[in-house]
Each structure stands twice: as C-alpha cells, then as structure tokens.
Amino acid sequence: MKAITAAELFTSGRRISDPLVLVEDGRIVSISSRDSQPIPPGAEHHAFPNAALFPGFVDIHIHGSAGYDVMEGSDSGLKHMAGFLATRGVTSFLATTVTAESSALVEAVEKIAAQILDWKVYGAARPIGIHLEGPCISQTRRGVHPEKDIRNPSIEFFDRIHRAACGTLRLITLAPELPGAIEVIREAVRRGVKVSIGHTDGTSEDAIAAIAAGATHVTHTFNAMRPLEHRAPGVLGEALNNAKLTAEIIADGIHVDPRVVSIFLRCKGLERSILVTDAISATGMGDGRYRLGPFEVVVTGLRAESEGRLAGSVLTLDQAVRNVMQFAGWPLADSVRLASANPAAMLGDDTIGVLCPGNRADIVVLSPAGEVLQSFVSGAAPGLT
C-alpha cells in the first residue's frame, strides 16, 4: 500500500487540507485528512509537505513528444513518449493521428490500437484511445494536413477506421459542412465515439446541424476555422456561445493570443473549457527538423511550422496550465480542472480526472506555481527527466 500526503488536495471543486491518500493495486482506496486517519503501518509513504495533489492531466489532442510521432506506430517510441508525458503531469492521453493516404492511415491506426490494447507499461502515461484528426476536413481550413489526402466523410470509410481501431477509437475531428458528415456523426455517436467539429469553414447552421446529430466538442478553437464575423458567427461563434459544446484551446500564446485565451475562458467557463497541446514529436527536444505524419516540420523556439504554417506545437500540458494562470489570472485549482476533470468528462470517462475512492490513482503533485514535482500513474511514480 502507498500513502501519499501533501499540504492540500484539490478535485472537482473540493479542497482537503493535510490530505492522506491511500493507494493499493493502482486504485485509490481512501482520501481523508491526516487528523482523521493515521498512515497505516508498513505503507510506502510519499510526502509532499509544500505541495498540492491534483488529478492527473488528460491530453485528448497530442501527436507526439520526445522525438516520437504517433503515426510511426513504433512500440518503443510510444512507450518513450508516454514516459516523457508522465514527467509533465499527464497520466492519460489520446494518441492523435494526422491526415495521410488512406491505407497508411489505417495501418497506423491498427498499430496504435494494438499497442493500446496490450499496454503493460509501468509508471508512464497511459494511452486510453485514439483521436482521429482528419482526413474528413475542409480543404480551405486544412492547416498543414496534406491536401491530396483530404476526403469527404462516408460510413464506409468510418467503418474501415473503426474496425482498424478495435474499440480504441474515442474521438474524431471532422468538418460538419462536408457531404456525408451528418450521417457519419450520427453513426459515430451510435458506436460510442465522440465527435468534434474542427478544421472547418462551416457556418453556425452547419455547427447546429452537427450538434443535433451528436457532436459535442470543438477542436483547437480559433485555429483552422472561419474567423468570427458579427453577421456570420460561423462554427467559432457557436463554439463560444453554445453551452452544449465543450471546446479545446492551445494555450501556448502562439496559436492564440493570450488576450483571446482569456476571452475564450470567459465564454466557455470553468466547466466547458479544455486545454490541449496539439504537441508533435519535437516537444521536449529543442530546435530542429521533425516529422508530423507524412511531412516535415521545422521547430524554432516555441514555433513549429511546415511551409510557413503552424504545424502543431511544442507545448506541454503543465505549461498550458501555468499559461492560463498568467493569461487569465485563474487560480491553480481552476486551471488544472481544464486539463483533468473537463477532458475526462468530455470523453465520458469517470475513472480518471477526479480523485475519489475506486478511481485510478492518477495523481499529479504540483508546487503553488504549477510546477510538476511528481506524478503517479495507477499509483506508480515515474522519475522526472
């Protein structure tokens, strides 16, 4: 049994002073205050007297890190990436694909799914599914997704990807204005796959139709979508205004100006805002040339570009949390919620994102400034790099 203590614990709006968390077999056994329960004899004690315990971060949009690109399908690469993510407070993530030629995309999905289903890595972030970003996106708002591989959605294509994923497909991003999109949204939702609106030139009417069909989320708000116009609000206007939608944002100060991040948070609020990284293989690696699926990305400082366009990021989720504190003046506990409870709730997964008895012991230990001091993934404590 492990016993974890700290100065404070925060989860789902709840605060406990001087907490004691007991963990066994990867699950939380109990959460209490130390003045109400002693540390059990023989328990492995992890003490963080000047820090706070939070639910581990959940990144639902990430293409790679630590030199590894998800589309490679390499078993050792995904494990290395997962180890790196744990050092940044991430305990669960969706391995996110990028638009590619159909057979190559299916092959990548098959390899990723096989790794997820056979995951036995101790002390690293856990891939909990696949996020399919593209290829059913707008040519006009494709960003760096390869133009030649973009296609209209169809039940046939969705079924091919769904079968390749073997039950691991959790989220898809598509443009709702494309022919066949509404039918695919309905079918995806019927099969338990969440649908996000993104890489779209759609109108607000397109967004409303997608919501009626079952779409519940918006991919990297502001990026790769029609700008907001006061007489034509578009998908962006619906994303900011519709309480039925959660919305993600890349809060690196590059993809979206810090002042606009603050506006976004005012619009979506504490419960509907989600932080993502959209991170690529270069994350944690420094300047240089890297891969994002089938194409090359050049990284200089905090910018990742392909042919002069932003191509993902080198953001980590702990930095995104700290950026929200700086950009919007939010307290640490509220900022963390956007990276833990909210993405877990969007996925409909009640075993993560909240610290409570019976849930996975996915815990991140943070300093008052939001620096990661330690993380626990199913109770395992990986070393920091």
pLDDT band at residue 382, thresholds of 50, 70 and 90?
confident
**pLDDT tens digits for range 258-279:** 999 999 999 999 999 999 999 9
CATH of the domain at 69: 3.20.20.140
Beta bridge partners of 32: 20
pLDDT at 28: 98
Statement to judge: residues 264 and 380 lie in one domain: no
Give kind and range of the element (H or E) at residue 95. strand 90-96
The β-bridge relationship of strands 217-218 and 194-197 is: parallel
Annotated catalytic residue 18: no
Beta-carbon contacts of residue 319 (< 8 Å; ≥ 6 apart): 88, 252
CA 381/CA 23 separation, integer angstroms: 12
pLDDT band at residue 214, thresholds of 50, 70 and 90?
very high
CA 183/CA 170 separation, integer angstroms: 18
CA 121/CA 117 separation, integer angstroms: 12
Distances (CA, A) of 183 to 157, 180, 201: 12, 6, 18
Question: Do 123 and 377 touch, CB atoms closer than 8 A?
Answer: yes
pLDDT band at residue 217, thresholds of 50, 70 and 90?
very high
Question: Do 55 and 341 touch, CB atoms closer than 8 A?
Answer: yes
**pLDDT tens digits for range 164-181:** 999 999 999 999 999 999
Statement to judge: residues 360 and 262 lie in one domain: no
CA 119/CA 129 separation, integer angstroms: 11
pLDDT band at residue 384, thresholds of 50, 70 and 90?
very low
Statement to judge: residues 256 and 365 lie in one domain: no
**pLDDT tens digits for range 2-21:** 999 999 999 988 999 999 99
Two tokens, residue 11 = 């989860």
Using alpha carbons only, what angle is made at residue 245 by residues 159 and 132, rounded to the nearest 5 degrees? 30
Q: End-to-end alpha-carbon separation of the chain, Å? A: 26
Statement to judge: residues 256 and 375 lie in one domain: no
Exposure letters 363-383 (e unless 16+ CB within 10 A, then b): bbbbeeebebebbbbbbbbbe
Statement to judge: residues 76 and 138 lie in one domain: yes
Catalytic one among 278, 334, 350, 362? 278
**pLDDT tens digits for range 324-364:** 999 999 999 999 999 999 999 999 999 999 999 999 999 99
The β-bridge relationship of strands 194-197 and 169-174 is: parallel
CATH of the domain at 363: 2.30.40.10
**pLDDT tens digits for range 243-258:** 999 999 999 999 999 9
DSSP 17: E
Statement to judge: residues 366 and 322 lie in one domain: no
Count the domains in the chain. 2
CA 264/CA 244 separation, integer angstroms: 15
Note down the domain range covering 92.
57-352
Average pLDDT over residues 293-311: 91
Beta bridge partners of 129: 94
Statement to judge: residues 9 and 138 lie in one domain: no
pLDDT band at residue 383, thresholds of 50, 70 and 90?
low
**Is the entire prediction scored with pTM above 0.85?**
yes
3-state class (DSSP) for residue 356 = coil
CA 234/CA 225 separation, integer angstroms: 9
Amino acid identity for residue 31 in this structure: I
Give yes or no for residue 73 having a pLDDT over 90: no
Statement to judge: residues 385 and 323 lie in one domain: no
Average pLDDT over residues 135-154: 96
Statement to judge: residues 186 and 40 lie in one domain: no
Question: Do 197 and 205 touch, CB atoms closer than 8 A?
Answer: no
pLDDT at 307: 87
Average pLDDT over residues 120-148: 95
CA 53/CA 23 separation, integer angstroms: 14
Beta bridge partners of 365: 53, 374
Statement to judge: residues 256 and 368 lie in one domain: no
CA 294/CA 105 separation, integer angstroms: 10
Two tokens, residue 79 = 């494990």
Distances (CA, A) of 136 to 152, 173, 320: 5, 8, 28
Statement to judge: residues 100 and 140 lie in one domain: yes
Handedness of CA 274, 278, 281, 286 (dihedral sign): negative
pLDDT at 385: 37
Give yes or no for residue 379 having a pLDDT over 90: yes
The chain-wide mean pLDDT, for the chain, equals: 96
Give kind and range of the element (H or E) at residue 179. none
Give yes or no for residue 68 having a pLDDT over 70: yes
Give yes or no for residue 295 having a pLDDT over 90: no
Two tokens, residue 173 = 């991003």
The β-bridge relationship of strands 27-33 and 19-24 is: antiparallel
pLDDT band at residue 139, thresholds of 50, 70 and 90?
very high
Beta-carbon contacts of residue 163 (< 8 Å; ≥ 6 apart): none
Beta-carbon contacts of residue 190 (< 8 Å; ≥ 6 apart): none
3-state class (DSSP) for residue 160 = helix
Statement to judge: residues 12 and 156 lie in one domain: no
